[in-house]
């Protein structure tokens, strides 16, 4: 078992002001305080890969993590991989690894809402649970997982749902796959998991920007993003996939440049759908070349689009439409 640490609240220590200094603890210091359940004979190797809060994780960091996991997967001695991570972007890293790596060995991400020095910290319980899941036969073949607050989630479905409570993650539509109770790992559901997307090991993930649609939002933001270097756009749309009517003027100019534009729903539940016909509806957007992505959040659709743009064949629209949460 290999534990890769990347920083975050789970690796924080207090500074002189009493605030948390994110990512300050090295991996070996963090793991020295973790107690596995009695009878759990699991050899754990710890590697400190990054020391930063997760708001500072970059696309290059994602590729580095992927290469590390790929190298570990080639070793027959590695039964599973645990990655400790800040919670702000944990769901994005988990999703990226899930869509670009095979299902073996099991990769589990975890973090904490309370720092190791804070009363009632969830740091060490979450790490112990993640190790148990990564080592378990029950989790094999499920893809990248997130373990938090004794619950097991698929990376494709999980979202951060609280900024501070220990039940910080959930899968709002699908629910958890199972749970961890000490030494017992229970998996009740197996997620649908399409094959991993192809991505060259030396690829550079292009920049894809997320643009939220809201009441009277300016369309100038769209063209500003493209002018600033975005290789693709994801619109976090209203309801069933709608935008203000004057966004329609900018769309053909952007898609005509070969820049893919995808749209998802900003609603926590429910897909985009061509249920309406008016200026700014999903039907009118699709007529300009916008790609409807039914079942992904904007943050996940952005990563999927970036991976597809970086892949060898460069096909975007068809595989993006078929990706599901």
User: Which residue has tokens 């500072």?
Assistant: 56
Helix residue ranges, H only, 109-173: 123-135
Strands 45-48 and 2-5: what pairing?
parallel
- Which two three-digit tokens encode residue 115? 């720092």
Q: Which residue from 225, 272, 276 is spatially nearest to 253, judged by alpha carbons?
A: 225
DSSP code of residue 152 = E
Tell me the C-alpha distance between 102 and 200, whole Å: 14
Residues forming a β-bridge with 80: 106
Long-range contacts (CB closer than 8 Å, 24 or more residues apart) made by 271-277: 271/240, 271/295, 272/237, 272/240, 272/241, 273/240, 273/241, 274/240, 274/241, 275/240, 276/240, 276/242
* Angle made by CA atoms 146, 295, 140, in degrees to the nearest 5: 35
Q: Which residues are catalytic, by number?
A: 9
């Amino acid at each position: 078992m290999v534990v890769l640490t990347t920083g975050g609240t789970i690796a924080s220590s207090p500074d002189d002001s009493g605030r948390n200094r994110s990512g300050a603890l090295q991996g070996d210091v963090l793991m020295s305080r973790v107690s596995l359940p009695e009878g759990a004979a699991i050899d754990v190797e710890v590697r400190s890969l990054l020391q930063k809060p997760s708001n500072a994780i970059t696309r290059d960091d994602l590729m580095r993590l992927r290469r590390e996991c790929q190298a570990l997967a080639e070793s027959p001695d590695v039964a599973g991989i645990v990655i400790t991570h800040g919670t702000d972007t944990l769901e994005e890293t988990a999703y990226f690894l899930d869509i670009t790596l095979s299902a073996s060995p099991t990769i589990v991400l975890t973090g904490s809402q309370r720092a190791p020095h804070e009363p009632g910290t969830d740091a060490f319980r979450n790490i112990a649970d993640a190790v148990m899941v990564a080592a378990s036969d029950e989790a094999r073949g499920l893809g990248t997982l997130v373990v938090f607050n004794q619950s097991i989630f698929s990376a494709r479905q999980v979202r951060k749902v609280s900024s501070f409570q220990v039940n910080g993650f959930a899968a709002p539509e699908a629910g958890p796959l199972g749970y961890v109770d000490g030494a017992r790992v229970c998996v009740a559901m197996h997620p649908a998991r399409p094959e991993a997307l192809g991505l060259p090991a030396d690829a550079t993930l292009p920049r894809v920007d997320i643009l939220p649609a809201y009441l009277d939002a300016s369309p100038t933001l769209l063209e500003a993003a493209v002018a600033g270097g975005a290789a693709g756009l994801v619109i976090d749309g209203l309801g069933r996939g709608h935008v203000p009517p004057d966004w329609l003027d900018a769309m053909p100019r952007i898609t005509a440049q070969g820049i893919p534009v995808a749209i998802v729903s900003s609603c926590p539940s429910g897909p985009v759908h061509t249920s309406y016909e008016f200026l700014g509806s999903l039907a009118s957007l699709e007529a300009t070349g916008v790609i409807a992505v039914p079942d992904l959040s904007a943050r996940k659709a952005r990563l999927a689009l970036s991976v597809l743009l970086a892949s060898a064949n460069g096909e975007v629209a068809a595989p993006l439409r078929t990706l599901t949460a």
